[in-house]
Amino acid sequence: MIASPRFKPHAHRGLHARIAAMPDHPYVDALVIGAGAAGLCIARALALAGLDVAVLESERAPGQHTSSRNSEVIHAGFYYPSDSLKAQLCVRGSQLLYEYCAGRGITTRRCGKLVVTDNADGIDRLHALLEQGISNGVTGLTLVTTDQLRQQVPGIMATTALHSPATGIIDSHAYLACLQQDIRDRGGIIACGARFLHADRDAHRFRVSFTDDEGDQVIMAARLVNAAGLFASEVARNIDGLPAAAIPETRWAKGNYFSLAGRPPCQTLVYPLPERHGLGIHLTLDTTGSARFGPDVVWTERVDYRADEHRRAVFAAAVARYFPGIDPARLQPAWAGIRPKAFQGGAPVNDFVIQGPTENGVPGLVQLFGIESPGLTASLAIGERCAALLEGTA
Ligand SMILES: Cc1cc2nc3c(=O)[nH]c(=O)nc-3n(C[C@H](O)[C@H](O)[C@H](O)COP(=O)(O)OP(=O)(O)OC[C@H]3O[C@@H](n4cnc5c(N)ncnc54)[C@H](O)[C@@H]3O)c2cc1C
């Protein structure tokens, strides 16, 4: 575990109070840029390891971007190649997340998930997903016959499904609130409305500038974590000493959601087979029992979280394929999220990119790119991994 000789437990104080109290050299052991699920989990892991931690968040509150605009699904981990970070961190993260939520009274529901198909090629792909899941260590996966499927999901137009009983849903807002509480309970600071501007490093520490309501500020940090989600590449370009070619590009893939008025057709999640850049427009439920369909994949260069009404026909067709009995008039544009997709050399990476001090060539620096799905599920495991990468580096 990381042990900091400088750590002194103290009551929560804002970053300004810290800077004012240490006018010559305002300092923290670790500074995390971004208070989404990933940044909060990393800050929490570092705080639990005894470090004096601060989080810089440009928005007025944590979790205003991807972490509060997703399907809230706790994925089991059968989609991803076994040697990928997504597979490893999803399987570990799902276990950690269920345990954490049970301990903290956060609502989760193991409602299970069906990946459905209506054709022979699809059945081959379901077999491949089953094998992949077993190899990744996912338990309980089974193939479901047409009769069983129709009993479970009345009115569904599919012949075969892969059933994942370990998949569930989470109240992500309660989760983010508990993570913040853990950080503050350990004396950590979450500074909202504070936008990272620039960092450089001398032999020992980073000199980090940020701006907030009171103007531009500077703080020193022994460790720096870039967990800025959609803006991670932009943040990386403002850290001195990183070769431009080593910084992955982040492209944005918007996912619209349409809510379903009235009673959901079933109480399990229903997905088509995955597509190239997403898991396919699926039926998802939230912990209050409401249903929605989404997300689609629309490449964008703008942060706009309004659902696009023009996608109605696409949604109606996707829903009609497996749920022909659902009246499209029940679909209403709800909201959208945006996936940060990592590209390297112009090609999609298709995995999380987590660069530790070795990959960055900078002691004490960890950076995360392309933390798309299953990043919420994986977040506690991401925290664990990043804390390990920083162990002994400062
Ligand atoms: C449509 C959609 C559906 C998804 N569904 C699921 C799902 O069902 N299950 C699942 O496990 N995962 C899902 N995901 C993925 C999951 O939501 C993300 O992987 C996760 O939320 C990423 O968290 P993050 O902390 O990396 O990013 P974010 O939540 O975006 O946090 C990054 C933070 O950095 C801050 N920031 C940026 N720049 C700066 C700066 N200069 N200074 C200070 N702060 C800055 C931002 O304001 C933001 O708060 C989905 C994602 C999308 C888009």
Q: Determine, yes or no, domain membership for 118.
A: yes
What is the whole-number distance in angstroms between the Cα of residue 66 and the centre of ligand 1?
3
pLDDT digits (tens, 9 = 90+) for 140-157: 999 999 999 999 999 999
Q: What are the Cα distances from residue 269, in Å, to 73, 93, 173, 250, 279?
A: 9, 20, 20, 29, 12
**What's the mean per-residue pLDDT of the chain?**
93
Q: What are the Cα distances from residue 149, in Å, to 157, 164, 174, 187?
A: 10, 13, 33, 51
Containing structural domain, residue 319: 109-166+250-344
Are 256 and 237 found together in one domain?
Answer: no
What is the torsion angle, in degrees rounded to the nearest 10, for the CA atoms of residue 44, residue 47, residue 53 and residue 54?
30
Q: Tell me the C-alpha distance between 73 and 374, whole Å.
A: 8
Give the model's pLDDT for residue 10. 40
Are 137 and 214 found together in one domain?
Answer: no
Are 227 and 274 found together in one domain?
Answer: no
Where does the pLDDT of residue 4 fall: very low under 50, low under 70, confident under 90, or very high at 90 and above? very low
Place of tokens 């109290």: 21
Say yes or no: CB of residue 217 within 6 Å of ligand 1.
Answer: no
Q: What average pLDDT does this structure show over 143-172?
A: 95
Q: Determine, yes or no, domain membership for 221.
A: yes
Pocket probe mutation, ligand 1, options 41, 56, 64, 67, max atoms within 8 Å of Cβ: 67
Are 191 and 323 found together in one domain?
Answer: no
Are 145 and 286 found together in one domain?
Answer: yes
Say yes or no: CB of residue 377 within 6 Å of ligand 1.
Answer: yes
Beta-carbon neighbour count of residue 325 at 10 Å? Answer: 11
Give the model's pLDDT for residue 206. 97
Are 265 and 159 found together in one domain?
Answer: yes
Q: Determine, yes or no, domain membership for 220.
A: yes
pLDDT digits (tens, 9 = 90+) for 263-311: 999 999 999 999 888 888 999 999 998 999 999 999 999 999 999 999 9
Are 276 and 338 found together in one domain?
Answer: yes
Burial of 349 (0-12, 13-18, 19+ CB in 10 A): middle
Are 144 and 258 found together in one domain?
Answer: yes
Tokens of 172: 């992500």
Domain count, the chain: 2
CA 368 to ligand 1: nearest atom: 26
